[in-house]
Structure 1
Amino acid sequence: MIDLATWNLTIPVGVPATVIDTPLLVGGYQDDYFQSRDGRIFFWAPANGSTTSNSVYPRSELRETYADGTLRNWSYTAATDVLSATARITQVPASGMLAFSQIHSKQGTSPPLMLGYQYVPQTGYGNVVIAFRGHPADADSLKIVLSSKVRLDQDFSYEIHLAKNGTLSIGLVEPGGAVKTWSRSLNKAWASHALYFKAGVYTLDNSGNETNAGAATFSQLKVEHR
């Protein structure tokens, strides 16, 4: 069972996109863009959906909160911050790309970390891609392919681990059981930023109609601040 008491939800409806507060989400909220059943949560974000004020792409995505719905933001120097999950990507848009987890910053639109999925038609597999921005002022993020062996509709598990000293580590278990890892240090400039976790579907495409969409299902999702 995934605990929704530490999240709110953004769905691609309204201008700007609508936020479903934590108490409503915990109370059993369901719609076309988000469903929770049988211990799993399902996200769907069509390319023609509405967007948040600082984005050109639609999302059906959770954002970290406290149980009363207050936004939860943290400094990485205060605790070891961990997000662990098991997910499967069930649909990609025409671009082949979506993001499924982030560490974001309240102070800007450029996150230190985004985990994405890039479908590769030539191989029938998808790449799990890390987009890492080591310094808040970096114009572009560093792109790293963590795994090239994840098909659509296959479960994979991953963990995002950010230590108090700024060491960011990503671990991923591929569908076949192979383990992939990556680690890098954040620049200390990130210490002044209020950070938070996000998870779900951020569809990196805004062309076409609702048949062009991103979708994912999570069977495990947990955040810890140790």
Structure 2
Amino acid sequence: MIDLAIWNLSVPVGIPAATIDTPRLVGGYQDGYFRSGNTLFFWAPVTGSRTDNAIYPRTELRETYANGAVHNWVYSQGDNFLRAALTVDQVPSTGKIVIGQIHCYGSTEPLIKLEYQYKEKLKSGNIVVKFRLTPTSEPEVIQVATGVLLKERFTYTIHLTAAGNLTVNAHEMQWGAKLDPAWSGKPLYFKAGVYTQDNTGYATEGGAATFYKLQATHDKKA
């Protein structure tokens, strides 16, 4: 079972999109966009509603404390890991869904997005990092892995150390970077699920993924 006691959930219903708080999520919340059990299933159709300041729909978890309060952290306080094992089950016509993030509280610009990008001609997808060196930088786009099939199970780990070293392992490939000191002191948080990078089409179009493992940890410095 995946521990849901450290997450809330955004679902693409209502204006703005609804947030399911942690106690309700732990209590067994399920709907047409999210199912939990031994795995977590996420579905975000292109026609879904959006969170404030977003242009695309999402069914996505966001870090919290068990009481439902949002959990933001400063990377210098410890070793920060987001680990997942999943399959991407469906993509929209753009081929793109975000499956993991380090976001910055109070900002619309995340530090990093991990994105699956399906290529119709190749019948497989790439795993791409979109990384901001500083909070005001335009994102760099880095291809980490290729040849990832739809419905193929793979793992990823996003690791940010107290020294600001960022590493992404995905589909047995690795990429890393050193954060600019401008990120120090910024309140950060992990997100995971399906953030569909498309907002046009039929209600049957969208992004879907099944997570077999999902764990966010923060190992405090001694």
**TM superposition score category, shorter chain reference:** over 0.9
In the TM superposition, residue 210 of structure 1 has moved relative to its aligned partner by 1.1
Measure, in 1, the Cα distance between the counterparts of 2:94 and 2:169.
26
Instruction: Determine helix, strand or coil for the equivalent of 1:217.
Output: strand
Equivalences for residues 1-226 of structure 1 within 5 A: 1-37=1-37, 39-138=38-137, 140-172=138-170, 174=171, 179-226=172-219
- Name the count of aligned residue pairs: 219
In the TM superposition, residue 192 of structure 1 has moved relative to its aligned partner by 2.2
Measure, in 1, the Cα distance between the counterparts of 2:145 and 2:109.
23
Task: Report the TM-score when normalising by structure 2.
Answer: 0.97
Q: What amino acid is the match of 1:14?
A: G
Q: Matched residues, percent identical?
A: 48
Measure, in 1, the Cα distance between the counterparts of 2:19 and 2:126.
30
Measure, in 2, the Cα distance between the counterparts of 1:121 and 1:158.
23
CA deviation digits over 1:73-129, x for unaligned, max 9? 000011110011101100000111110100000131010100000001111110000
In the TM superposition, residue 149 of structure 1 has moved relative to its aligned partner by 1.6
What 5-or-longer segments of structure 2 have no aligned partner? none
Q: What amino acid is the match of 1:211?
A: T
Measure, in 2, the Cα distance between the counterparts of 1:185 and 1:62.
26
Instruction: Determine helix, strand or coil for the equivalent of 1:202.
Output: strand
Instruction: Determine helix, strand or coil for the equivalent of 1:135.
Output: coil
Task: Report the TM-score when normalising by structure 1.
Answer: 0.96
Measure, in 2, the Cα distance between the counterparts of 1:119 and 1:149.
9
Instruction: Determine helix, strand or coil for the equivalent of 1:25.
Output: helix
Measure, in 2, the Cα distance between the counterparts of 1:209 and 1:108.
30
Measure, in 2, the Cα distance between the counterparts of 1:34 and 1:111.
23
CA contact (8 A) 1:107 1:193 kept: no
In the TM superposition, residue 209 of structure 1 has moved relative to its aligned partner by 2.2
CA deviation digits over 1:126-145, x for unaligned, max 9? 0000000010011x201111
Measure, in 1, the Cα distance between the counterparts of 2:83 and 2:157.
4
In the TM superposition, residue 215 of structure 1 has moved relative to its aligned partner by 0.4
Instruction: Determine helix, strand or coil for the equivalent of 2:99.
Output: strand
CA RMSD for the aligned pairs? 0.7
Measure, in 1, the Cα distance between the counterparts of 2:74 and 2:106.
12
Measure, in 2, the Cα distance between the counterparts of 1:78 and 1:219.
28
